[in-house]
Amino acid sequence: MSERTKPLPDETGRTPRPAPRKVIPIAQEAEGTPLFEARRKIQPRSIAGRFARWRWALVWLTQLFFYGVPWLQIHGRQALLFDLEQRRFYIFGWLLYPQDFIYLAVLLIVSALALFLFTTVAGRLWCGFSCPQTVYTEIFMWVERRLEGDRSARLRLDASGWGLEKLARRGGKHALWLLIALWTGLSFVGYFVPIRSLLPEVLAFTGPWQIFWVLFYALATYGNAGFLREQVCKHMCPYARFQSAMFDRDTLIVTYDAARGEARGPRPKGLDHRAQGLGECIDCTLCVQVCPAGIDIRDGLQYECIGCGLCIDACNSVMDRMHYPRGLIRLSTQNGMARGWRQGELVRRILRPRVLVYGAALAAISTAMAASLALRTPLKLDVVRDRSTLSRIVGGGQIENIYRIQIGNATERDQRYTLSAAGIEGLRVASDTEVEVGAAQDRWVVVRLQAPYGAAQPGSHGVEITAAAVGEAGLVQQAHTTFLVPR
C-alpha cells in the first residue's frame, strides 16, 4: 500500500498556511482602526541545502572580514582605519587625505555600479546573501535556534506562559544577542577609532563619544536583527524599492513553476498524480515555513522576496522525497519561464546590452581608479600666501614674499624634502631649504621667497614652489602660487 504523504509537520499537526491578510473596511478606518496591517511574527523553519550553505559561507566570509580587519596591522598601524579626528585614511598601506576624497567618491560609484550589474544579472543577490541585515538576522536566528529550538518549538514557547524554562531560554538568547551586538558596535567604531585603544577605553568607561557610538550601533544591530528583521527590508530599505528598476525579463529570480506544480494538493507517494489531474506541488507549505520574509513564492514574484533561495532548498528536499525532478521552485527568469528555456539559454541571455553597459562602465572606472592610485605621488604640497606681509623690499635690494606651506608625507617613512622656487629670474628660497617630516605626518613651514629688484615688472607673477624628497627620485611635488612685485 502506498504511503500517504502528509503535509510537512507543524506544531499542531495541521498543514500551516499563511494567515489571510486582514482587510479593514474603510468605514472601520474612519472609526479609528489602524490603517496598516498588524505585523505577523515570522518564525522561519531551518532548512539544509545548497542555498543555505551559500548563505552561511557568506556569513563567515563577511564577518571574518568585518570583525577581523580592524585588528590587522601594517607598518605598526591599523591596516584599515578612517581616522576622522586626524583626517587621515589608512587603507592597507595607502595613506589618503581629505583631499583624496575623490577616491572615496569613485569607490562609491564603483560599488553602486557593481550592485547594478549584479542585480541586473542575478536579482537580489546582495539582499539574500551579503546585506548586513540578512547576515546579522541569520546569526541571530542561529542563536535563537540553539536556545529555543526550531520553528515548532519556538511557536510552542511563544504560546506558553512564563516559567523558569522560558525565562532561561529567552534570557540566554537576549544576553547572547546583546553580546554579539556590542561586539559588532565595537568593531564598527573600530574602523574610525584605533580599535586597540578603543577596547580599553570602552571597558574603562572613558571616551564618552566612543561609548555612545558603540552603543548606538549595537542597539541598531540588536533591534534590526533581533526584532525588526524582514520589516527592515520591507519598509525601511530604499534599495529594496528602487532595485526593481534594474530588473528586466532576463534577470534571475526565484520562481515557482506553476505550469508544473498546479493543480497542487496532497497525494499518496507513488500515485500517478497526472492521472488524477494533479501537478507536482504537494501543498506541504514547507517553502512558506522556511521563508524569512514570510511569503508564499507560489503567489508569484513579490517585492518582499529577498531571493535567498531557501524555498528552493525546501522544495527540492520535498521533490527528492516524492521522487519528482528537482526545480519546481528554481532560479530562472521571466522569459525563461514563459519560453521554457534551459540553463544554456539563460546563461546566453546574460550578455545583453544593459549588462554590457554596466560592465563596461564598471571596468573603465575601476581601471582608471587603480591606475590613478598606482601613479599617485605620496607627497602633498599646499601653499598659502601670508596675507599680513604681501611684498616688501629687504636688505641687498631683494623683493621678498612670504608663504605658509603644508607638506604632507603620505609614506610610512620619515622624509627630508628640499624646497626650491622658479618662475622669475633669480628667484630663490631665502628661508630653510630643507624640511623634515615624520612618517604619515603633515608639517606647516614658513617660506620666504626672494627675487632681485628689477628681475620682474611690478605686479603679480605666477611662480612654482617645488618639494623634492632627498634620496627618493620621483618623489617630487609642485605647487603654483603668485609673487608680488611692488611699484
Chain residues in the site for ligand SF4 (CB under 6 A): 254, 256, 261, 264, 281-287, 290-293, 295, 297-298, 305-311, 314-315, 318, 328-329
Rank residues 180 and 281 by Cβ distance to ligand SF4 and give the closer one.
281
15 Cβ contact partners less than 8 Å away, ≥ 6 residues apart: 7, 8, 266, 283, 284, 285
**CB nearer to ligand SF4: pick between 155 and 311:** 311
Minimum distance from residue 106 beta carbon to ligand SF4 (Å): 33
Q: Which is nearer to ligand SF4, 232 or 314 (CB)?
A: 314
* Omega within 30 of 0 (cis) for the link into 439: no
Q: CB within 8 A of 452, min separation 6: which ones?
A: 397, 398, 399, 425, 426
Is the distance from CB of 334 to CB of 258 less than 8 angstroms?
A: no
What does each C-alpha distance from 462 to 423, 424, 481 come to in angstroms? 7, 8, 6
- Of the pair 290, 440, the CB lying nearest ligand SF4 is at 290
What are the residues whose beta carbons fall under 8 Å from the beta carbon of 60, sequence distance 6 or more?
none
Closest CB 133 distance from ligand SF4, rounded Å: 13
Residue among 78 and 285 whose Cβ is closer to ligand SF4: 285
- Cβ–Cβ < 8 Å for 28, 43: no
Closest distance between ligand SF4 and the C-beta of residue 58, in Å?
Answer: 14
- The type of residue at 27 is A
**81 vs 329, beta carbon nearer ligand SF4:** 329
Residue indicated by cell numbers 508564499: 296
Asked if residues 82 and 70 have their Cβ atoms less than 8 Å apart, the reply is: no
Report in angstroms how near the CB of residue 104 gets to ligand SF4 at its nearest: 33
Element at 20 (helix H, strand E): none
Contact predicate 257/327, CB 8 Å: yes
How many other C-beta atoms can be found within 10 angstroms of the C-beta atom of residue 279?
A: 19
Smallest distance, Å, CB 51 to ligand SF4?
Answer: 8
- Least Å distance, CB 249 to ligand SF4, is 19
Q: How many residues does the chain have?
A: 487
What is the CA 121 to chain-centroid distance, rounded? 19
Q: How far is the CB of 12 from ligand SF4 (least distance, A)?
A: 17
Q: Which is nearer to ligand SF4, 304 or 386 (CB)?
A: 304
In the complex, what is the shortest distance from the CB of residue 228 to ligand SF4, in angstroms, rounded to a whole number?
A: 16
Q: For ligand SF4, give the closer residue by CB, 4 or 352.
A: 4
